Amino acid sequence: MTNTRTVELEGHIIDSGMMQQAMGIVMDLGGNFDIEEFDVGRQKDKTSYCRMSVSADDESDLQEILHELHQIGANLTDPVDAHVEPSPADQVVPVGFYSTTNHPTEVRYDGRWLPVEDIEMDCAIVVDPDAPDGPRAYTKVLNSVEEGDLVVTDEAGIRVKPPERPRDASGPFGFMQGGVSSERPSESLIGEVADALRETKEEGGNVLVVAGPALIHSGGGDALARLIREGYIDMISAGNGFATHDIERGLYGTSLGMDMETMEHPRKGHKHHIYTISEVIRAGGIESAVEEGLIKEGVMYECVKNDVPYVLAGSIRDDGPLPDTITDTIEAQNAIREQAHQADMVLMLSTLLHSVAVGNCLPSTAKTVCVDINPATVTQLLDRGSSQAIGMVTDIGTFVPTLAEKVLDESAE
């Protein structure tokens, strides 16, 4: 007996490749499809619509197909309520729970479509029918699920809307339609990123920078500090190493022991980073070290002076660490998550692990630019599900100063 369900796709489904992708999913998983309706948008600003029936010999095979189609934005046409089941215990979700994408999502509950709050990938959706302003739906990571939470299962009663890239070169990110490349003119691309950053701030949005130690090593620290001082950066997400080398540069003129002016390694320079950590611990933390005049310049100095919040997520390989570094993994994830949910634009600057960590918490509507000299960093970010990210393969020491110059100098004109 053949099992059949009907799905619909809407938007720029031809240009984005969604239509081709949907057909490929059905065929690759052993199913069949029949196009019941197909309306093609005939102008660039017009969308297309497709309704197709999808069938498979086995119900479990059909459910696998529907799950994969759902991930790319194909939604079931039958307007049924989502199925919810109470969590049997803390940190335990019902079998077959719906695992979220990072795309805008709605859940149908009691005949109403509820937007899912704080959407991010790989979470459960919890429905609260007794919220003060009426039923609401929101995401929870598995370790925060509580016994009795009403958790959504299956794909029925759920709508997913992946954001669409421009059909042509229009829009703030139309210039990077080709994905990851090291062969395009960097300066013009940086100019486009600068335009997008200024536009985000003009619209009242928040800009998050995810920074790695290489930014300091390569000489980009002063430019990032300037962007913070001028009000273009709202949050910093980094690790113990980034903050340590930024402060080390201000105290000793070195980064990981290398003199930033001469590029030489002074005597005992290899000890400067651990001396730095020791002095900040003695002061009681980064903010205290700034207030007492120990830290007088740099990215962390500007963060403190301009009330720009920062999250320093710890690692098992950290020296020290600095008192401000969050060493509890779950606590660090929650702090990163809080930043990510507030971000409208994210600059990921030469740090694979922190970029992936933040990318896992971002909604797909956040404009995300990942910059690294190693193309594998950007590729891994995209492979982990951050489909909204665009990549630039270039030297971070060139990118950040050029970005600051274009943002600040052109803003002054």
Give the model's pLDDT for residue 346: 96
370 close to 145: Cβ distance less than 8 angstroms: no
**CA atoms of 222 and 130, how far apart (whole Å):** 50
3-state helix, strand, coil in the chain (%, to 5): 35, 25, 40
Return the beta strands (E) in 150-307 as ranges: 150-153, 158-160, 180-181, 207-211, 235-239, 254-255, 258-259
Give the model's pLDDT for residue 167: 53
Residue 60 main-chain phi, psi, to 5 deg = -65, -35
Name the residue type at position 72.
I
pTM, 2 dp: 0.85
* Torsion sign, CA atoms 100, 103, 109, 115: positive
189 close to 395: Cβ distance less than 8 angstroms: no
Tokens 């290899």 map to which residue? 270
Return the beta strands (E) in 14-123 as ranges: 32-39, 48-56, 75-76, 83-86, 105-109, 112-117
Domain 185-408, classified CATH 3.40.50.10690, yes or no: yes
355 close to 392: Cβ distance less than 8 angstroms: no
**CA atoms of 155 and 176, how far apart (whole Å):** 33
From first to last of its 413 residues, what are the pLDDT tens digits of the chain?
Answer: 588 999 999 888 887 788 999 999 999 999 999 999 999 988 777 889 999 999 999 888 998 898 889 888 898 887 789 999 999 999 999 999 999 999 999 999 999 999 999 999 999 999 999 999 999 999 999 999 999 999 999 888 999 888 765 455 444 445 444 455 554 547 888 998 999 999 999 999 999 999 999 999 999 999 999 999 999 999 999 999 999 999 999 999 888 767 666 566 766 777 889 999 999 999 999 999 999 999 999 999 999 999 999 999 999 989 999 999 999 999 999 999 999 999 999 999 999 889 999 999 999 889 999 998 888 777 777 766 566 677 888 889 999 999 999 999 876 65
209 close to 237: Cβ distance less than 8 angstroms: yes
Fold of 1-76: Alpha-Beta Plaits (3.30.70)
Give the model's pLDDT for residue 178: 44
Which of 407, 402, 412 shows the shortest CA–CA distance to 220? 402
Give the model's pLDDT for residue 253: 86
Give the model's pLDDT for residue 8: 92
Q: How far is CA 131 from CA 136, 161, 383, in A?
A: 7, 25, 37
Give the model's pLDDT for residue 383: 66
Residue 99 main-chain phi, psi, to 5 deg = -95, 125
Q: What's the distance, CA 123 to chain centroid? A: 14
Which of 47, 69, 43 shows the shortest CA–CA distance to 56? 69
Instruction: Work out the burial of residue 342: count CB atoms within 10 Å of its CB; fewer than 13 is exposed, 13-18 middle, 19 or more buried.
Output: middle
Do β-strands 207-211 and 235-239 pair in parallel, antiparallel, or remain unpaired? parallel
- Other Cβ atoms less than 10 A from the Cβ of 324: the count is 18
Give the model's pLDDT for residue 168: 53
**CA atoms of 294 and 277, how far apart (whole Å):** 12
Domain chopping of the chain, boundaries: 1-76, 78-163, 185-408
Assign domain 78-163 one CATH number from 2.60.40.10, 2.40.420.10, 3.40.50.300, 3.40.50.720.
2.40.420.10
